[in-house]
Amino acid sequence: MRSRFTDALISVALPVAGIAAALLAIEILKRRGDLPVTIPAPSQVWGVLIANGAGIRSAVIETVMNAARGYAVACVVALGAAFIAAIIVPLRSPIYNFGVGLASVPLIAATPLLAMWLGSGPLTRSLIAGLSSYFPLLVGAMQGFRAYENNHMELFHVYSASRWRRFRFLILPSSLPYLFAGFKLAAPLAVLGSLTAELTGAENGVGVIMLNALFSFDIQMVWLTVLIACALSGVGYALWALIEHMTIYWESPRELIG
């Protein structure tokens, strides 16, 4: 019988194989001259990456660090708010509505305002990344902390279990599928928020390179930055999916999806 780790690797390898096949098809079509000038061959994009490796590496690190800081803060705040909402029922609706309000603010409009107030430094970029990833984390946590079966909770009451034991052995395990759903959805959004914030005057980052490439009509560099952004988002999602497969050992992947 295959292990859960093997199943997780297969679930990641299949999309990667599909992407590799698509890149090979684009390479063949480009060499045959069947694609427009705005679509470069993957080999051309790879050549740009090799020629600008040091600068790209520095930009990727900057974007990842800003996204990771904002994502971490959003996780702490969202989980804390959901925990308070689960304990103090009258606060549930205000906390959720406040999250909806934050999610309704378009990042493209909020980013320039925050840059004017706080500057265009790492703090602003991390804040934007956190705001973009906050709502999925909040929804996942609030739904998860209420996902336990009522008859199970009654059993814990019968045995006079403490609040900590109820949370540790019932609420938290029941909430894990919802929590991981929020973690997975929020990771790409944190990357998107970091890239959006870099378009407002940052000195380094994948978004900065993307903007410069657009203005100079550097098609290969534009596609390289787009692919890097997609890869960062995919890696963030895949890491949480792998952790989910390893953590929720009492359910099969089919049960988690269904």
Decide: 78 and 96 in contact? Cβ < 8 Å: no
Q: What is the residue whose two structure tokens read 């800081």? A: 69
Give the DSSP letter of residue 96.
H
d(CA 205, CA 225): 10
Residue 104 structure tokens: 């309704």
Report the run of H or E that residue 91 belongs to, with start and end.
none
Residue 241 structure tokens: 């999916």
Give tens-digit pLDDT for 118-158.
877 788 888 999 999 999 999 999 888 887 767 776 677 76
| Predicted pLDDT at 147 | 76
Which residue type sits at 50?
I
- Residue 28 CA, chain-centre distance (Å), reads 32
Least confident of 69-78, 84-93, 130-139, 141-150: 141-150
d(CA 176, CA 101): 25
| Predicted pLDDT at 4 | 61
Give tens-digit pLDDT for 160-170.
676 677 777 77
| Predicted pLDDT at 2 | 57
Report the largest interatomic distance among the alpha carbons of the chain, rounded to a whole angstrom: 74
What's the rounded mean pLDDT across residues 178-189?
Answer: 93
Kindly write down the DSSP assignment for every residue of 62-79, as one continuous string.
HHHHHHHHHHHHHHHHHH
Domains of the chain: 63-205+230-257 (1.10.3720.10)
Residue 257 has pLDDT above 60, yes or no: no
Residue 25 has pLDDT above 60, yes or no: yes
d(CA 62, CA 232): 12
What's the rounded mean pLDDT across residues 192-200?
Answer: 88
The band of 35, judged by pLDDT with boundaries at 50, 70 and 90, is confident
Which residue type sits at 3?
S
Least confident of 6-15, 133-142, 200-209: 6-15
